[in-house]
Amino acid sequence: MVSAGSATLYGRSMKKPSETKKRIIAAASNLFRRKGYYGTGLSEILKESGAPKGSFYFHFPDGKDQLTAATIDAAAEDTERLLDTIAAEAEGLPDFIDRVASSYERLLERSDFKASSLFANTTLDIAPTNEMVAEHLRAGYRRWHRSIAAYCSDQLGSRQRGADMAVIIIAGLEGALSLCRAEKSTAPLDAVARQLKQAALNTVENDSGAAR
């Protein structure tokens, strides 16, 4: 979902995953972003990853749902790391929002508007009917929220305002992706980012006015 620099925008076991397993997860992530859970077949995942079917079931004996959970966990971890990097480099909340929005723009432009957020696609496809996958999605979103809320809380001087702003940022940017794909334009994302930055500035100005 999010990137810093040239990277793009998800627990991890103590044992380092094998290269084959990482290739399968990466292939599934790419396909789920483009085609969704139901639009992606196992044969496509195997073809894109270059992994034989036996290797797939060695690493994911419970099949596609287990792979989907692993893909979500990996994406959540990557995104949390990227968000923390952005927070360390950002010069204030508007700059933070700009950097996060820019990472979404890179995802769209690099894929010619064919790819969306793994989390958004998977949530729409399978979360209502698969509680195991839904739990991994909830855990992933919570990780994103913690990272963004920590930065927002520091900037806004309030844990509650920071937590609320984090929800608005995630919902606004994730939702804008669908409009961007439909329009084949980043204009909806730019509009959302502008409003998010204005909301952040208004909150800071209101707090400053109340303190005088």
Domain-wise residue ranges, the chain = 72-211
Q: Is the pLDDT of residue 104 over 90?
A: yes
pLDDT band per the 50, 70, 90 thresholds, residue 210: low
CATH topology of domain 72-211: Tetracycline Repressor; domain 2 (1.10.357)
Predicted confidence at residue 8, as pLDDT, reads: 45
Quote the pLDDT of residue 15.
Answer: 47
Instruction: Give pLDDT tens digits for 125-137.
Output: 998 899 999 999 9
What six digits make up the tokens of 187?
């204009």
- The predicted pLDDT at position 203 comes to 81
Measured CA to CA, the distance from residue 86 to residue 147 in angstroms comes to 10
> Is 2's pLDDT higher than 60?
no
Mean pLDDT value across residues 53-74: 96
Q: What is the dihedral of CA 204, 174, 60, 22, to 10 degrees?
A: -70
Question: How far apart, in whole angstroms, are the C-alpha atoms of residue 179 and residue 189?
Answer: 8
Pick the closest to residue 132 from 51, 66, 43 (CA basis). 66
